[in-house]
Amino acid sequence: MTSQPHPPTATTSGSDAVDAPQVWRQFAPDLPAEKVLWSEIIPGGSHASSLLARGTALRLVALDPSVNCSVVLYALPPAQERYNMPDSLKAQHTAHYTRGHVLMSDMGRAIASITQDSLGWHDPLGSLLDTATMQDRYGAHRYEQHRNAMHRSGRDGLLIEIGKYGLGARDLIAPVNFFSKVSVDEEGRFHFAHQHAPEGASVEVRMDMDVLIALSCAPHAFDSHPVYRPGRVGIAAWRMGPAPADDYCRNHCPENQRAHYNSDRFAAR
C-alpha cells in the first residue's frame, strides 16, 4: 500500500456548486435539493469511486433494464477496515439484501445500511466478473481499438478505482451486486435471475461510517447473456444524517443494533 486516503471533508451541495450538473433531477427528483451533494450517470461497463462522510446517503437508480452495479466499501481512515460479506449475512440470517439490512465491517460495525429499496433483492454472493471470463464470453474489445465501446470487467474496474487510493488486488473484497439476484437451491447451486431489475428500480444506501466507496457497472459474473450489454446507473449523494434511535435498519434485528452501537461509539472517539 503506497498511500492512505484522507477522511472525507465537508462539501457544498449540488445546488450551490457552480459546475455541478444536476443530473439527479432526471432520476431522483424527489431528493431535497438543498441536501444533494453531487450526482452522475455511470455508463454501462464504467466505474467510479468517492469518499463519503458518515450520514451521507447514496441513491442508485437503474437507468436501463437488467443492470448490475458492484459496490465495495472501506472505512476511513485508514481503509484497512472494510465491508465483510460473511459476517453481514450470518448476523442477519440472510442470503440477499434489501431494506433494513446492514452492511457490516470486519470489526463488527455498521459501515452502511440499506434504507430504501424498490426491488427487494440484491446479490451479495455472486462475486465479480473477471477479465478472462469476460473475454471468453464476449470477446476482447480493447480501448485502443473500440474506445468507449471497450469491454471492461467488474474486477478490473474496481481495481482501477481503489488503486486511486493506494489499495490493490490484496484489498479487493467481495462486492454487493446491486440490482442482481442470485438464489441458492437445496443442492447449493447458484441461479442467476435474468431480467431481474426493471428500468427505474432504485436502492438507497446510507453511510454509517466515513467510507471509500467504489462502483462498477460491468455485467454480473453469472450473467450468461452472449452479448456484452451493461446498463447505466444514476447515482446521487445527499445528506441524510446518521441513523437515529428509531432507525428502521438499526432496529431490524438485535445484531444490527449492536453494529450501529459500535459505529456510533467509533464516531464519538
Give residue 150's pLDDT.
Answer: 72
Q: Can you give the pTM of this predicted structure?
A: 0.91
Domain range holding 126? 34-267
φ, ψ for residue 265, nearest 5 deg: -65, -40
Residue 16 in any domain: the answer is no
Q: Does residue 3 fall inside a structural domain?
A: no
- Tell me whether residue 51 is in a domain: yes
202: which 3 cell numbers?
432504485
| Distance separating alpha carbons of residues 49 and 34, to the nearest angstrom | 23
* C-alpha cell, 256: 444490527
Query: 167 in a domain, yes or no?
Result: yes
Q: What is the pLDDT of residue 12?
A: 40
Q: How far is CA 163 from CA 50, 138, 155, in A?
A: 12, 26, 12
Cβ-contact 149, 124 below 8 angstroms: no
What is the rounded CA–CA span in Å between residue 266 and residue 54?
A: 11
10 lies in a domain?
no
Is 249 part of a structural domain of the chain? yes
- Number of domains forming the structure of the chain: 1
- Domain assignment present for 20: no
**13 belongs to a structural domain:** no
Mean pLDDT per 10-residue run, the chain (269 residues)? 42 52 95 96 96 98 97 92 97 97 98 98 96 89 61 95 96 98 93 96 98 97 93 98 98 98 94
pLDDT of residue 19: 65
First and final CA of the chain: distance in angstroms?
A: 26
